[in-house]
A and B are shown apart, each in its own frame.
Chain A
Amino acid sequence: MKTWLKVLATLLLLYTIVAGFLFDVPRLNIVNETIRALYFHVPMWFGMVVLFLVSTVYSIQYLRNPSIEKDIYAVEFANTGLLLGLLGIVTGMIWANYTWGSPWHGDPKQNGAAISLLVYLAYFVLRGSVENEDQRARLSAVYNIFAFSAMIPLIFVIPRMTSSMHPGSGGNPGFNMYDLDSKMRMVFYPAVAGWILLGVWIASLRIRVRLIDEKIQNLENE
C-alpha cells in the first residue's frame, strides 16, 4: 500500500474518533448519544463487504489464471473482512443493548450478519481440510465465489423485505431522516473511507508476511 494512503487512513480515523465523540449530534428519543455508534458500526460493515468483494474478485482471477499470490490475496482479504465483520457485530450488539434493550434481538439483519460470518468460517474450515495446495486454492476459490453470490440476497435483499427494527430496512428510514442538517455526513463519509483503508492496510501487511514466508520456503526447498 502506498504511504500516502496509510497517512490518509490514520488521519481519517483520528478525525473519526475525535469528531465522532465530540461533534454535535441530533438529539433523538431512545437513540440519544448512542447515535455516535453510527460512525463505527456502519463503516465496519461497509469495510467488511468491500473486503469480501475484493477477496471474491481475487478468487475469480485465481480461477482464470491460477497463481499462489492470488490465492494468498483472496485468503487474507477474507481474513481481514472477517475481523471487521466481528467488530461490526460487536459494536452493533453494544448499540442494540442501549436502543433495543438487549444485545441480540433476533433482528433479520443481525441474523443475516451472523450467517454471513458463518459462511467465511466455513471457508476456513474447507481450507483446513484439503491437503493438496493447488486443490485447496481451487476449491476454496470456488466456494468463495459461490458463498459470496449466495450471501448477497441474505444481507442485502431479505432484511429489506421482512419487518425489522434496524434503520434502513423493513420500511424504516436510514439515517437520512435523522440527519437533517447533514452534520453527521461530515463525519460519516470520512469514517467509511477510513475504516475501509484500515482494512486494506491490515490485509496488505498480512499478504506481505505470507508472500515472504512463501519466498523463504521456496529458497529452502532449492
Chain B
Amino acid sequence: MQNLNHLLLKELTLELRRKSVISGLLLYLFSTAFICYLTFSLRQNQITPLVWSALFWITILFTVINTVAKSFIGEKKGRDIYYYSISSPEAIIISKVIYNFLLTLILSFTGFILFALLLKNPIVDLGLFSLVLALGAMGFSSSLTLISGIAAKANNSHILMAVLSFPIVISVLLIVVKVTKNCIDGLDRSVSTNDLVTLLAINCLVTAASYLLFPYIWRS
C-alpha cells in the first residue's frame, strides 16, 4: 500500500515535471477535434448526433491508446529493473492503472469540452454522459495498461499496441457508444442502467485479469 502511494506520486510528479508529454497529448486531441471541425465546417448541419458520437469516440480512442502506450513503451530499460527491485509487480500495475485512469479521465473530459465548443453539443443528459466518460476511461485504462506492458517487450511495439488493443477495447467501446446514443436521445436513465452495470462488470474483470497476469510479464 505504501509502495502504491509512492509509485503513484512518482508518476504524477514525473508527469508534472515533463509537461511536454501531457501538452503533446492535449495538442493531439485539439488537432484532431479541429480537423473534424474544419472538415465539417463546409456544411455544419451535416453532423448528425450519431456522426458526432462516432467522431468523438474515435478521437478519444486514438488519444487514449497513445497515452497509455507510453506507460511502458517509453520507459528506459534500466529504470524498469530499478522499480522491480524496490516494489512488487502488483503495486506497479495498480499504480499505472490508476495513473492512466486519471490521465484518460482528464483527456476524455477535455475532448468533450473541445467537441462541444467546436462542433456542437448533442448530449441531452449531461450527468449520465459524465458517468459514461468516467466508466469508459476506467475500461480503457485497465485494459490498455497490460497490453502496453506486453507490447513493450516485443519488436515494433507501436504497431503491436494498436493491433493487440483493438479487439480487447471493442467490448467497452460498443457499450459506451450505445449509452452515448441514449444520452443524445435523452432517454430515461433506467434504460441505460443495465449497460452501465455490464460496463462496470467488464472493467472489474479486465482489472482483475491485469492484476493477476502482470507478475508474469515483468519477469521477462
Interface residues of A (CB under 8 A from B): 63, 115-116, 118-119, 122, 125-126, 129-132, 134-135, 138-139, 141-143, 145-147, 149-154, 157-158, 161-162
Contacts and interface: CB of A to CB of B under 8 A. Distances in A.
B198 interface: yes
Nearest to A162: B178
A21 B206 CA distance: 43
Given A132-B220, A150-B143, A150-B171, 18 more contacts: A119-B168, A122-B163, A122-B167, A125-B164, A126-B163, A129-B155, A130-B154, A138-B220, A142-B217, A146-B147, A146-B206, A146-B209, A151-B167, A152-B205, A153-B171, A153-B198, A158-B198, A162-B178
B153 interface: yes
A63 to B, nearest CB: 5
Chain B interface secondary structure, helix, strand, loop or mixed? helix
B194 interface: yes
A153 B150 CA distance: 22
Nearest to A145: B213
B146 interface: yes
A82 B201 CA distance: 27
Interface in B172-219: 174-175, 178, 194-195, 198, 201-202, 205-206, 209-210, 213, 216-217, 219
B216 A63 contact: yes
Contacts of A145: 209, 213
A55 B135 CA distance: 31
Given A129-B155, A158-B175, A138 B160 contact: no
A139 B154 contact: yes
Interface of B: 143, 146-147, 150, 153-156, 160, 163-164, 166-168, 170-171, 174-175, 178, 194-195, 198, 201-202, 205-206, 209-210, 213, 216-217, 219-220
Contacts of B150: 126, 139, 142-143
Nearest to A157: B198
A150 B144 CA distance: 12
A129 B213 contact: no
B108 to A, nearest CB: 20
B210 A153 contact: no
A147 B167 contact: yes
Contacts of A162: 178
